[in-house]
């Protein structure tokens, strides 16, 4: 993610379902570098706010699939 700013209403359906006719049975999604890599963020901060934003984005977008 390169510590890019994230918008809480981000639409990632083109990542999750690029082919509208095929719906996978399982999704495995991994994120890295969702925060700037510096000593404070790596060692001290948990960055729960950023993680929560990404969780909500995933839940919202996954709930659209198959409807």
Give residue 60's pLDDT: 92
pTM reported for the whole predicted model: 0.67
- Give burial (CB, 10 Å; 0-12/13-18/19+) of 10: middle
* Structure confidence by residue, pLDDT tens digits, 2-60: 667 778 888 888 888 888 788 888 889 888 877 777 777 777 766 678 888 888 999 99
User: What is the domain partition of the chain in residue ranges?
Assistant: 1-14+28-67
CB-based contact 37:3 (threshold 8 Å): yes
In this prediction, residue 14 carries a pLDDT of 87
């Amino acid at each position: 993610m390169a510590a890019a700013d994230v918008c809480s209403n981000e639409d990632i359906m083109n990542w999750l379902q690029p082919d509208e006719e095929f719906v996978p049975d399982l999704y495995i999604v991994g994120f890295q570098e969702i925060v700037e890599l510096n000593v404070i963020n790596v060692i001290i901060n948990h960055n729960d706010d950023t993680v929560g934003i990404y969780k909500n984005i995933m839940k919202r977008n996954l709930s659209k699939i198959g409807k």
